[in-house]
Structure 1
Amino acid sequence: MKAEILCVGTEILLGDIVNTNAQFISRQLANLGIEVFHQSVVGDNPDRLLEELENGFKRSDIIITTGGLGPTPDDLTKETGAKFFNRELILDKNSLENLKEHFSKMGRSYSKGNNIKQAYFPKGSKILPNPHGTAPGCAIEENGKIMIILPGPPKEVAPMFNNYVKPFLKKYSSKIIKSKTLRLCGIGEGVMAEMASDIIKNSTNPTVAPYAKEEDTILRITAEASTEDDALKLINPVEIQLKKIFGINIYGEDDIKMEEVLGKMLTDKKFTISSAESCTGGMIAAKLVNYPGISEVFKEGAVTYSNEAKINRLGVKKTTLDKYGAVSYETAREMAEGIAKTSNTDIGISTTGIAGPGGGSTEKPVGLVYMGLYIKGRVQAKKFQYFGSRNTVRKRATMSALDWVRREILSI
């Protein structure tokens, strides 16, 4: 079946919010083996919304909408859907009771304003409960056409889709599409694509596609089959080949994050760690703290931005700063050793660089970052060159620092 996604909301058109719902729903439909042929966004205008539905159902069998289910007068997605299918709106008593209970818990009355309109649905539609908000969704099915109406907030869309829409749509798909993602760090998209070029060119089912993200690069293996088990059987041999090619450059799979991988390694091995950051300004510490249980091993994160802080907190020699500058191998080494020894940790990681947009020179351009690593008594330093905005440089440097620690632990 052919599907399209129609997101409703003037705030999306104005750029006030990012339309993450379309991305999420597209991925879920792909996993169900339902092809997405079109995506569109329309403002809170019933005439334009009705026109989109009329045009959409000429192209597709399924239209999934998000947004326009709230209590305000411009929330008219259900009303427009009812008009398209020529159905009246009927009060659903269960939804009304849920609405009453929700507002009662908040010490408010559901009857104030237009809240009650959220309990009305096109006659004969399948209601999709919303335990995460006040606006349930619904599905209308008629003459081979299906309209699925979801709320706007992503935190409500995801559970509603997973719990109710996915089981509803499974009967319409005779195949599934399954993807496996390999996450890499320390290797660019071009090099990655070249190393895997034979597999990428010669793979048809599954296919292999390289992508560059802001902080890492990924290889997505996608297979089409009648069952998930069959799809995984197609993916597995290609995954093994890619892991042989890229080895240690692969740090994780699917949605796992670098800090999760490193956090588990540190806690499993009981290696304590501390960080001394200049250009990254605490980003390394923040990433580590994302991992639950990191308090067992993460002892301290210091932002030593000025030369005075590097001297007073870390013990960096003034002569080192005078001779080599703050952005140098030598300073990075002393920072890493200083934080590890003063925090009494097995590992110390440091960053010092020029994030930009100003401050660079021919000798030390914007994006230049030196990192130091103290691990079990051994001190090293590395030079990195990044490109992009100030924040991009900082994010990429943070990722490289965490990845360097990961690689060193694996080599022990």
Structure 2
Amino acid sequence: MIAEILSVGTELLLGNTVNTDARDISEYLSALGIDVGWHTVVGDNPGRLTDAVNIAKSRADLIITTGGLGPTCDDLTKQVLAAAFGIELYFDETEAERIRGYFSRRIGRPMTENNLQQAWLPVGCTVFSNLWGTAPGCTFEKDGVRVIMLPGPPRECRAMFENCAMPYLRTLGEGEIVSHNLRIFGRGESEVEFPLRERMNAMRNPTLAPYAKEGEMFLRVTAKAATREEAERMMEPVIAELRESLGAVVYGVDATSLEAVVSDLLREKGLTLAAAESCTGGLLSKRMTDLPGASEVFRGGAVVYATDSKTSLLGVPAALIEEKGVVSREVALSLAENVRAVFSADFGVGITGLAGPDGDGVHPVGTVFVALAAADDSFVREIHGGRDRDRIRTMAASHALDMLRRYMTGLPVEKI
């Protein structure tokens, strides 16, 4: 089955809104073993939307639309799709009553009549009631093509796909499709993909697909079998062999994030962390404290961005900064050791670097020193993250987390 995701909304074309719906749905479909052939974005224009639907009909087995189901005059997705497939619309009184109740019970203000436009649905469709907003979704099949319509707001779209569309799509397949993701830090896409290329091309079931995202690499292993248990058995030797060949750069299978892995390790071992951050501006602390139960493992952090604050707040000797430079191995290590002492933590992390736009005459933009201080040892990594400020900060925080992970699991820390 080949799917096309048709995202409707002029705001997407203009770049006012990021199309996260298409990204999320693509990930869901991949997990179901459904190939996504096309992403199409079209504005709120009935003629262009009609053209886009007709093109999608001609090449896709499954069309998933997002957006254009709301109460305003430019919400035309249902009308255009119904016309393209030769289906009438009917007024669904059950959905109309739900929409009225949403306004009276949850919003607490009068409903304007145009909101009932959302209750018009294609005859014969399966309705997806919207428990997270007002516009219902739906699905129907016509002319050998399956159509799923979802609301545009990302929270509603995700929830409706997970709770309505995904169970529906599971009923269409024979057997079970199961995927697992190996998460990798410290190797680029080409480094991971090249040694595996011949094997990936030869594999049919299970399959192996690499992709990069936010400074990390993922290897998705997918198998299809009569039962979930059989699919899992098919994947076990593949995953074990990949972990063996890739080694320490694999930090988890189906792990949610590097910081979650580190947080779990700290909690299991009864250890704590403190962070002193300069160029990352508190990003490492944010990533740790975004996790539930962070107070058990994260003692605190200090953003010492200005040079003198490193001395006044964390006691980094001014003479050391003068001699070695604020961006140096020695200053990063002093930050790590001192923040560990200040917060009475088991580990201290110190980060200092150049996020741009200018270098310091010694190091190029993107140079960052990341230090880890423990009770019995200390380590420093020098990394180079290019010229993009956000990428530099993200990479620096991730390297700090990777150093912690490696130390707590007995792996080499300084080198990747």
The letter for the 1-side match of 2:192 is M
CA–CA separation in structure 1 for the residues paired with 2:4 and 2:190: 32
Describe the SS at the equivalent of 2:183.
strand
* Structure-1 residue corresponding to 2:312: 312
RMSD in angstroms over aligned alpha carbons? 2.1
Contact in 1 for aligned 2:365/2:387 (Cα 8 Å): no
CA–CA separation in structure 2 for the residues paired with 1:194 and 1:82: 47
The letter for the 2-side match of 1:109 is P
CA–CA separation in structure 2 for the residues paired with 1:175 and 1:14: 42
* Structure-1 residue corresponding to 2:260: 260
Higher mean Cα deviation, 50-59 or 173-182?
173-182
Describe the SS at the equivalent of 1:398.
helix
* Structure-1 residue corresponding to 2:185: 185
Q: How far did residue 163 of structure 1 move? A: 2.0
Change (3 A) 1:3 1:194: closer
CA–CA separation in structure 2 for the residues paired with 1:232 and 1:73: 49
Describe the SS at the equivalent of 2:243.
helix
The letter for the 1-side match of 2:397 is T
Change (3 A) 1:71 1:294: same
Runs ≥4 residues deviating over 6 A: none
Describe the SS at the equivalent of 2:3.
strand
Q: Please list, as runs of the form range in 1=range in 2, the aligned pairs for 1:172-211 lying within 5 A after superposition.
A: 172-174=172-174, 177-194=177-194, 196=196, 199-200=199-200, 202-211=202-211
Contact in 2 for aligned 1:267/1:294 (Cα 8 Å): no
* Structure-1 residue corresponding to 2:9: 9
Q: How far did residue 160 of structure 1 move? A: 1.4
TM-score, length-scaled by structure 2: 0.92
* Structure-2 residue corresponding to 1:129: 129
Contact in 2 for aligned 1:67/1:150 (Cα 8 Å): yes
CA–CA separation in structure 1 for the residues paired with 2:203 and 2:335: 47
Gaps of 5+ in 2: 412-416
CA deviation digits over 1:148-196, x for unaligned, max 9? Answer: 2111112112221222222333343335543321111123333333554
Describe the SS at the equivalent of 1:268.
helix
CA–CA separation in structure 2 for the residues paired with 1:236 and 1:355: 42
CA–CA separation in structure 1 for the residues paired with 2:330 and 2:90: 73
* Structure-2 residue corresponding to 1:384: 383
Q: How far did residue 237 of structure 1 move? A: 0.8
TM-score, length-scaled by structure 1: 0.93
Q: How far did residue 113 of structure 1 move? A: 4.7
* Structure-1 residue corresponding to 2:341: 341
The letter for the 2-side match of 1:124 is G
CA–CA separation in structure 2 for the residues paired with 1:160 and 1:349: 41
Contact in 1 for aligned 2:282/2:301 (Cα 8 Å): yes
Contact in 2 for aligned 1:336/1:348 (Cα 8 Å): yes
Describe the SS at the equivalent of 2:186.
coil
The letter for the 2-side match of 1:47 is G
Describe the SS at the equivalent of 2:102.
helix
Q: Please list, as runs of the form range in 1=range in 2, the aligned pairs for 1:72-151 lying within 5 A after superposition.
A: 72-105=72-105, 106-110=107-111, 112-151=112-151
Describe the SS at the equivalent of 1:411.
coil
CA–CA separation in structure 1 for the residues paired with 2:87 and 2:198: 55
Q: How far did residue 81 of structure 1 move? A: 2.1
CA–CA separation in structure 2 for the residues paired with 1:190 and 1:47: 42
Change (3 A) 1:358 1:158: same
* Structure-2 residue corresponding to 1:411: 410
Contact in 1 for aligned 2:370/2:399 (Cα 8 Å): no
CA deviation digits over 1:237-292, x for unaligned, max 9? Answer: 11000111223221122351011111111122121211101111111111110111
Describe the SS at the equivalent of 1:117.
helix
Paired residues in the alignment total 410
The letter for the 1-side match of 2:76 is L
